[in-house]
Amino acid sequence: MAKWFKAMPDFVRRLILLATLLLAAAFAAPPAAAEDGYDLWLRYRPLPPALRQVYAPRLAQLSVTASSPTLKAARQELERGLDGLLGERPGLGGVLIAGTPRSSATIARLRLRLEGLGDEGFVIRSVRLGRRPATIIAANSDIGVLYGAFAFLRRLQGGQPIEALDLREDPKLKLRILNHWDNLDRSVERGYSGASLWDWHKLPGWRDPRYVDYARANASIGINGTVLTNVNANAEVLTPLYLKKVAALADLFRPFGIKVYLTARFSAPIELGKLPTADPLDPRVRDWWKSKADEIYRLVPDFGGFLVKANSEGQPGPQDYKRSHADGANMLADALSPHGGIVMWRAFVYTAAPDTDRAKQAYEEFKPLDGRFRDNVIVQVKNGPIDFQPREPFHPLFGAMPKTPLILEAQITKEYLGFATHLAYLGTMWEEVLGSDTFARGPGTAVAGTLTGMAGVANVGTDRNWSGSHFDQANWYAFGRLAWDPARSAEAIAGEWSRMTWGNDPEVVAPVVAMMMRSRQAAVDYMTPLGLHHLMATGHHYGPGPWVDDLERRDWNPTYYHRADRDGIGFDRTASGSNAVAQYAPPVAGRFAGLETVPDDYLLWFHHVPWDHRLRSGRTVWDELVVRYSRGVGAVREMRRSWASLEPRIDRERFEQVAAFLAIQEEEATWWRDASLAYFQSVSRRPLPMGHAPPAHRLDHYKSLRFPYAPGQ
């Protein structure tokens, strides 16, 4: 034994032995807690040593004066992030300063040109303070600082450089809102991730810490509002008992820049106020809403306002009194405007007795109202003219109401894209619609340029991983990032998310992003290729039902939409049909209306064509349909293979859930293809092209399947 070892005092020798053991344990031990997805993209797991060595000296010290709840949240998030990502940091070195000119004298002195950043923007700047390197996160407002803190942590999580930073960001859209279709009994309409997060019964007495994690997650992607309740609204939430509960949530969300909104049931003055009418022009009704708004603002001083679904799918509305949507919206707007609240009025309407193409109805009802809404009314329009289908052309109202602010409503929850078990990244879908040129003010007027905000129908619930599946977290993430900046690319967002969620290993990032980028097209292919739409089974929308033709309303039936018969398939929306194309600006209308110019992806949306119609591929429509259905299944099979290869690089629990879900997806994609082809073949009477195996079962089998308890109803 070395002399120096023997020379040491006994306790030091013991210390060395212990240290050796501890070191061995520290490096041998598996990660402390299994990864179950609860942490979302805010995992803050230790970075590789090489990165830590670069970052830690520049971030030795953190300086945030927590002079408000929001700045306190920013400081806590930075502490949590730096502690997690970097572990122990040296006591000396660079400093990270976050604040506003009011909260930090240093920031005030730095003259950072904060003008033009508005209420929510931020700068991140590398400077020197004397001889010390400093990183500054600065904003005009506390919430800007919090957004900047999350942006900075995202850089660290992604392993990006933090030297010589000069970043400047502010949100491109003002309203970035989640819509929860959550009911007061905690069921969630179109929810596939457990029950509603809102534990109404225990509120306000019990404030689940999860509410704060929800707010953190939203703030990290710039979401600044949340509608707590289902658009199929229940007036009960407007009673004093519930408003106290709403106020408790608002208190928890406020530091994170998230305003609370509620859905307003149009008939509430009757149900709660015992009035004989809910006529928006009746003074008693107007008074009732005014005093209800006053009551709400006493409890929630920064209440956001109301979201309203009226005269749609059985909901009450102003048309019950022969008033217009504008009359209804303006009445609520007048009640809210003294307090600064807004009304988001949904354009998703279709009349009870459809005498026209359902795709045309929102435009027909709302376009004439342009200019008739109060300033604090915003019309909320779904991305496409039908209903969150795997692929729709953009909604013709975008660009068509220049005097009315519009919100684009997207569905984050996957009602029509495989629920929680199918991997379908929606960033590409939203990128597609946001980038579509409306030609509203000449060429180059993308949908994104016509918007004041985006609303996303939330996919979060009580499931441990929030969104029902790990990959569905990416849709929540992408929604927030696109609402912040609709010009951001879906692929860049997928990369960001993948790094934050699965780690920086390039052998993981590349295949994960590749899976995500092709996943939505895969779902389109195995569900509704070539512009087909609304082929899902009744009610729950789980699985295929292209044969369904017996529902009460004609426009609830898949046969209404695909119109397949012995001769051909597709919905003629050109001048020879419903002429829905005419709702678009002429250059768009012309492109969609021409059989030579319409993109294959929208062919059967706009055209009824013979089965033998030839596509650009050279194949007939029938053959192309079969090829695309099969291609969709093949893509899922590819995703499974790709994921399986990542097993050694992904933590066990998350790996296995994704693997199990992909297996379910392959099974269900095959079911979609087989059931759809069995049906369409029974109509087209054509043979499958060479190399395509026939469906596993006869059509009757697919028709016989029942799923009375599929989730989300």
Q: Is 647 in the site for a copy of itself (CB under 8 A)?
A: no
Per-residue interface string for the shown chain with a copy of itself, residues 414-433, x marking contact by CB under 8 A: -----xxx------------
Per-residue interface string for the shown chain with a copy of itself, residues 475-494, x marking contact by CB under 8 A: --------------------
Single out the segment in contact with a copy of itself by CB under 8 A; choices: 111-119, 272-280, 324-332, 660-668.
Answer: 660-668
Q: Is 696 in the site for a copy of itself (CB under 8 A)?
A: no
Q: Is 514 in the site for a copy of itself (CB under 8 A)?
A: no
Q: What sign does the dihedral 553-557-560-561 (CA atoms) show?
A: positive
Q: Are strands 259-263 and 175-179 parallel, antiparallel or unpaired?
A: unpaired
Measured from the CB atom, the residue of 234 and 452 that comes closer to a copy of itself is 234
194: left (phi over 0), alpha (psi -120 to 50) or beta: left
Binding residue for a copy of itself (CB under 8 A) from 92, 105, 113, 202?
202
Q: Is 272 in the site for a copy of itself (CB under 8 A)?
A: no
Q: Is 699 in the site for a copy of itself (CB under 8 A)?
A: no
Tokens coding 540: 């729950």
Q: How far apart are CA 560 and CA 562, in angstroms?
A: 6
Binding residue for a copy of itself (CB under 8 A) from 127, 270, 275, 664?
664
Tell me whether residue 387 is one of the annotated catalytic residues.
yes
305: left (phi over 0), alpha (psi -120 to 50) or beta: left
Q: How far apart are CA 659 and CA 642, in angstroms?
A: 10
Tokens coding 196: 């509603």
Smallest gap from residue 10 Cβ to a copy of itself (A): 11
Measured from the CB atom, the residue of 419 and 477 that comes closer to a copy of itself is 419
Binding residue for a copy of itself (CB under 8 A) from 61, 187, 232, 351?
187
Single out the segment in contact with a copy of itself by CB under 8 A; choices: 65-73, 89-97, 341-349, 703-711.
Answer: 703-711
Q: Are strands 61-64 and 225-227 parallel, antiparallel or unpaired?
A: unpaired
Binding residue for a copy of itself (CB under 8 A) from 462, 504, 579, 642?
462
Q: How far apart are CA 421 and CA 389, in angstroms?
A: 17
Q: Is the peptide bond preceding residue 31 cis, with omega within 30 degrees of 0?
A: no
What lies within 8 Å, CB to CB, of 64 at 6+ separation is 71, 74, 75, 78, 97, 98, 99, 103, 145
Q: Which of 420, 533, 423 is nearest to 188 (CA)?
A: 420
**What does the angle CA 653 – CA 644 – CA 524 come to, to the nearest 5 degrees?**
100
Question: Other CB atoms closer than 10 Å to residue 229's CB: what's the count?
Answer: 27
Measured from the CB atom, the residue of 3 and 566 that comes closer to a copy of itself is 3
Q: Is 23 in the site for a copy of itself (CB under 8 A)?
A: yes
Q: Is 14 in the site for a copy of itself (CB under 8 A)?
A: no
Q: How far apart are CA 167 and CA 181, in angstroms?
A: 36
Q: Tally the C-alpha atoms within 13 A of residue 276's C-alpha that lie toward its C-beta.
A: 1
Q: Is 555 in the site for a copy of itself (CB under 8 A)?
A: no
Single out the segment in contact with a copy of itself by CB under 8 A; choices: 23-31, 324-332, 550-558, 687-695.
Answer: 23-31
Q: How far apart are CA 443 and CA 424, in angstroms?
A: 31
Do the Cβ atoms of 421 and 144 come closer than 8 Å?
no
Q: Is 195 in the site for a copy of itself (CB under 8 A)?
A: yes
Q: How far apart are CA 386 and CA 372, in angstroms?
A: 25
Q: Which of 142, 387, 463, 496 is catalytic?
A: 387
Q: How far apart are CA 661 and CA 421, in angstroms?
A: 5
Q: Which residue has the tokens 């994921």?
A: 643
Measured CA distances, 253 to 147, 182, 212 (Å): 14, 17, 7
Binding residue for a copy of itself (CB under 8 A) from 497, 561, 661, 671?
661
Single out the segment in contact with a copy of itself by CB under 8 A; choices: 171-179, 346-354, 440-448, 659-667.
Answer: 659-667
Tell me whether residue 415 is one of the annotated catalytic residues.
yes
**What does the angle CA 674 – CA 676 – CA 678 come to, to the nearest 5 degrees?**
65
Q: Is 1 in the site for a copy of itself (CB under 8 A)?
A: no
Smallest gap from residue 185 Cβ to a copy of itself (A): 5
Single out the segment in contact with a copy of itself by CB under 8 A; choices: 64-72, 129-137, 173-181, 658-666.
Answer: 658-666
Smallest gap from residue 12 Cβ to a copy of itself (A): 7
Q: How far apart are CA 315 and CA 325, in angstroms?
A: 13
Q: Is 5 in the site for a copy of itself (CB under 8 A)?
A: yes
Q: Is 690 in the site for a copy of itself (CB under 8 A)?
A: no
HEC per residue, 107-118: HHHHCCCCCCCC
Q: Is 37 in the site for a copy of itself (CB under 8 A)?
A: no
Q: Is 615 in the site for a copy of itself (CB under 8 A)?
A: no
Smallest gap from residue 200 Cβ to a copy of itself (A): 6
Please count the residues of this chain forming the interface with a copy of itself, following the rule CB under 8 A: 53
Supply φ then ψ for residue 382, to 5 degrees.
-65, 155
Tell me whether residue 313 is one of the annotated catalytic residues.
yes
Q: Is 236 in the site for a copy of itself (CB under 8 A)?
A: yes
State the residues that interact with a copy of itself by CB under 8 A: 2-5, 7-9, 12, 15-16, 18-23, 25-26, 32-33, 88, 184-187, 194-195, 200-202, 205-207, 209, 236, 419-421, 462-464, 653, 657, 660-661, 663-664, 667, 708-711, 713
Q: Which residues are catalytic?
A: 313, 387, 415
